[in-house]
């Protein structure tokens, strides 16, 4: 892509439908659309409620939204510092190669550094070679000594006696 103006801005409440569309497009790419149960109402509460659970930046090309990144903060007891966790990064297929994905990662890296974070983490599906290559080209390294575990909503309910 040539002659494109990249910009990144914080998401606003009126972006909720756009964010949900991006989430669905990401899920389509990851072959996980059947798992998307997010709603506009739920996103509005999570992103713009009294106690935000996550934050979103919108990536634009020539003023048109073409991608997003959703992130939140965790805490590393070993580092004694917060960490920025990138939950989702998505650029519309027609805009890949524009530099927008890299610009959003760099934006978050600067934010994490400026806010005193000890690291920035994310996960990638093991079959997603284009994304793996992209991240490694930025200098990211795969974590191999940890295995991820998850309790889904059903398991949480069982554990909590519900």
Catalytic residues: 135
C-alpha span between 5 and 97 (Å, rounded):
13
Nearest to 59 by CA among 13, 96, 17: 96
Query: Which residues lie closer than 8 Å to 91 by C-beta, 6 or more apart?
Result: 59, 66, 67, 98, 100, 101, 104
* DSSP conformation class of 4: -
């Amino acid at each position: 892509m040539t002659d494109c103006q990249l910009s990144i801005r914080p998401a606003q409440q009126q972006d909720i439908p756009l964010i949900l569309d991006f989430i669905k497009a990401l899920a389509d790419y990851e072959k996980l659309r059947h798992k998307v149960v997010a709603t506009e109402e739920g996103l509005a509460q999570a992103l713009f409620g009294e106690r935000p659970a996550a934050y979103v930046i919108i990536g634009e090309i020539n003023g048109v939204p073409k991608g997003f990144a959703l992130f939140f903060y965790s805490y590393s007891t070993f580092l004694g510092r917060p960490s920025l966790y990138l939950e989702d990064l998505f650029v519309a297929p027609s805009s890949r190669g524009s530099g927008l994905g890299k610009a959003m990662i760099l934006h978050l890296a600067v934010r994490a550094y400026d806010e005193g974070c000890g690291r920035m983490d994310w996960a990638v599906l093991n079959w997603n070679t284009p994304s793996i290559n992209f991240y490694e080209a930025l200098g990211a390294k795969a974590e191999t000594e940890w295995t991820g575990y998850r309790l889904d909503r059903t398991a949480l309910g069982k554990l909590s006696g519900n």
